[in-house]
């Protein structure tokens, strides 16, 4: 498999021409149409949305392909690409204010937490879809909202508790929503067997309201 290029960030502009900035980080399936549609929905709600593409246009149909894409050689480490994406998003002429929101799905949620823990980054709002990651939040400047499925072997209750304890210890604002009758990937329309449209729409509305309230505030 060839090494991936340093692809520019895909930016979706809001109808109102300018708005607060949000970086969307896809799950291990890659930047599928589901995430593009999610980004377009946020743009319609007034946000400047950056769609990161960690797999350089490649997407996975099954878990084995996803694992291969995640392990594939890279010219640029994922964390450097994500930081570069944040800088590109901030530099967009449609961006309002210095603050950035992050929305991460599953694997992307792990990266969203990692980014939110870096005090040198301008992240003020972090949204997690069926993802947890612990570590220290003592230097974070972000608040957090998380969306969880009811049945999810990928998100262990003990891991969730560890993250929530770490957030509470650091005094970071945090709100969690649980969606009855849902499974991992419930917000991704490409995953037909797991997609729950009503829950996905509710999560989107909650995400947009949270981002609108949070971004631009110190």
Task: State the pLDDT at residue 6.
Answer: 52
Query: What is the tally of structural domains in the chain?
Result: 1
SS3 label, residue 103? strand
Task: State the pLDDT at residue 4.
Answer: 38
Instruction: Tell me which residue of 153, 152, 154 sits closest to 183, measured CA to CA.
Output: 152
Task: State the pLDDT at residue 157.
Answer: 96
Q: Spell out the SS3 assignment of 125-172.
A: EEEEECCCCCCCCCCCCCEEEEEEEEECCCCCHHHHHHHHHHHHHHCC
Contact (Cβ atoms closer than 8 angstroms) between residue 40 and residue 31: no
Asked whether residue 99 is domain-assigned, the answer is yes
Token couple for 98: 């210095």
pLDDT digits (tens, 9 = 90+) for 94-144: 999 889 999 999 999 999 999 999 999 999 999 999 999 999 999 999 999
Asked whether residue 163 is domain-assigned, the answer is yes
Asked whether residue 123 is domain-assigned, the answer is yes
Residues of the chain with pLDDT under 50: 1-5, 217-218
pTM of structure: 0.94
Query: Domain range spanning residue 175?
Result: 10-214
Asked whether residue 5 is domain-assigned, the answer is no
Asked whether residue 1 is domain-assigned, the answer is no
For the beta carbon of residue 169, count every other beta carbon within 10 angstroms. 11
CATH of the domain at 183: 3.40.50.1820
């Amino acid at each position: 498999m060839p090494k991936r290029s340093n692809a520019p960030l895909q930016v979706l502009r809001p109808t109102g021409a300018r708005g607060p900035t949000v970086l969307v980080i896809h799950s291990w399936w890659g930047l599928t149409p589901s995430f593009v549609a999610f980004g377009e929905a946020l743009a319609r709600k007034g946000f400047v949305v950056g769609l990161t593409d960690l797999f350089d246009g490649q997407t996975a149909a099954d878990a084995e392909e996803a694992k291969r894409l995640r392990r594939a050689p890279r010219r640029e480490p994922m964390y450097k690409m994500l930081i570069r994406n944040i800088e590109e998003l901030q530099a967009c002429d449609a961006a309002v204010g210095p603050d950035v929101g992050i929305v991460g799905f599953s694997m992307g949620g792990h990266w969203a937490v990692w980014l939110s823990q870096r005090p040198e980054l301008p992240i003020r709002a972090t949204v997690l879809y069926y993802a947890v990651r612990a570590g220290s939040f003592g230097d974070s400047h972000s608040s957090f909202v998380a969306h969880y499925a009811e049945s999810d072997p990928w998100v262990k209750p003990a891991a969730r508790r560890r993250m929530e304890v770490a957030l509470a210890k650091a005094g970071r604002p945090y709100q969690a929503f649980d969606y009855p009758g849902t499974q991992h990937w419930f917000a991704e329309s490409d995953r037909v067997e797991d997609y729950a449209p009503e829950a996905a729409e509710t999560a989107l509305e909650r995400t947009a309201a949270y981002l609108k309230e949070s971004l631009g505030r110190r």
